[in-house]
């Protein structure tokens, strides 16, 4: 499909386009389907043309949540985008492969490094998924099953088939997966504190950046959030924790641990900034949060799959530095 990009003066205006949904796109939400086909068009504009009724499925109006089916005809209105955005869309992300933990016909699991976003957006022009697509042009489909914060390293699942994507996302939603992280926190974590069941409330700062805070059960915007904590090792001035999340809320682990008085080492949003400065002098220049273990049922065989990504060298080295030596 040709991208719908408004040209310079003298170039004919973009026209209405009709797309036929193929098998690989069946079951996808309309907004996600459009974003794949309208590269470079801002998300706000995509939602605007859906709300206005300019996007049609089989000649009928549809909402952003509507699932497209194989054979559906989708009407795309003429969309103009600025030359700057068009240039950016034409400049692909650099192809990159990431350390593989598992791969088969349905999915792949990578060990995501810290500092890499999982997808482009909010000031980041590209992320893991865009780089993988560039590195694997022959792949019919590559879609994120779940997300990790940019500064979090560890296991990230990518679906290679639409059926696998739906199956795995259903497991995440129904809490059938096992997700355990390693986190280094400030101070001596109390042994009795094993379950954190505190609702979380998402809000925006004046500059548009997302933040999360613990709220009360009465808050209508609060989302129930459950985190299980186990002490892995007590260290001078810090505790290494195994953290298992039962719900996958934005910044859940970071906020739950910090709100209980033990922020994660190197966390630039919810951490102890003086401690972070001291840690940087010791050589820790990132947040100490790592997606360590993941269990799920394979979308085809239904067998339980258990993956593990060992601590990356920079985190292991920090533990070795502060661990008491006889």
Residues annotated as part of the active site? 149
H helices present in 77-136, as ranges: 83-90, 128-135
Of 293, 284, 291, the residue nearest 313 (C-alpha): 284
Q: Which two tokens stand for residue 213?
A: 């805070």
- In whole angstroms, what is the distance from residue 257 CA to residue 184 CA? 10
- In whole angstroms, what is the distance from residue 180 CA to residue 155 CA? 10
Cβ atoms of 101 and 309 closer than 8 Å: yes
DSSP 55: S
Greatest distance between any 2 Cα atoms in the chain = 78
Q: Which two tokens stand for residue 224?
A: 């129930």
* Angle CA 286–131–269, to nearest 5: 25
Cβ atoms of 97 and 106 closer than 8 Å: no
- In whole angstroms, what is the distance from residue 263 CA to residue 253 CA? 10
Question: How far, in whole angstroms, is CA 42 from its chain's centroid?
Answer: 19
- In whole angstroms, what is the distance from residue 43 CA to residue 115 CA? 24
Q: What are phi and psi of 251, to 5 degrees?
A: 55, 25
- In whole angstroms, what is the distance from residue 251 CA to residue 271 CA? 12
Question: How far, in whole angstroms, is CA 317 from its chain's centroid?
Answer: 27
Q: Which two tokens stand for residue 303?
A: 């067998």
């Amino acid at each position: 499909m040709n991208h719908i990009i408004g040209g310079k003066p003298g170039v004919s205006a973009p026209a209405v386009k009709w797309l036929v949904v193929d098998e690989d796109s069946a079951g996808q939400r309309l907004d996600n389907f459009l974003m794949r086909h309208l590269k470079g068009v801002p998300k706000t504009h995509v939602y605007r043309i859906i709300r206005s009724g300019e996007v049609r499925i089989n000649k009928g109006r549809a909402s952003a949540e509507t699932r497209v089916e194989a054979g559906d005809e989708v009407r795309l209105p003429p969309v103009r985008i600025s030359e700057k955005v068009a240039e950016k869309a034409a400049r692909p992300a650099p192809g990159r492969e990431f350390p593989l933990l598992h791969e088969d016909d349905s999915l792949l699991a990578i060990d995501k490094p810290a500092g890499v976003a999982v997808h482009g957006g909010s000031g980041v022009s590209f992320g893991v998924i865009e780089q993988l697509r560039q590195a694997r042009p022959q792949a019919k489909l590559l879609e994120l099953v779940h997300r990790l914060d940019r500064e979090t390293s560890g296991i990230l699942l990518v679906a290679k088939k639409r059926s696998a994507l739906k199956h795995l996302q259903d497991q995440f939603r129904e809490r059938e997966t096992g997700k355990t992280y390693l986190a280094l926190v400030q101070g001596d974590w109390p042994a009795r504190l094993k379950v954190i069941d505190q609702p979380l409330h998402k809000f925006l700062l004046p500059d548009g950046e997302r933040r999360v805070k613990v709220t009360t059960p009465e808050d209508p915007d609060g989302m129930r959030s459950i985190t299980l904590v186990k002490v892995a090792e007590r260290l001078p001035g810090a505790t290494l924790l195994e953290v298992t999340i039962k719900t996958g809320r934005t910044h859940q682990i970071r906020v739950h641990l910090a709100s209980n008085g033990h922020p994660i080492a190197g966390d630039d949003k919810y951490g102890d900034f003086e401690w972070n400065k001291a840690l940087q002098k010791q050589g820790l220049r990132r947040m100490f949060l790592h997606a360590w273990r993941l269990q799920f049922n394979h979308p085809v065989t239904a067998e339980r799959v258990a993956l593990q990504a060992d601590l990356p060298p920079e985190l292991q080295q920090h533990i070795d530095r502060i661990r008491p030596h006889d």
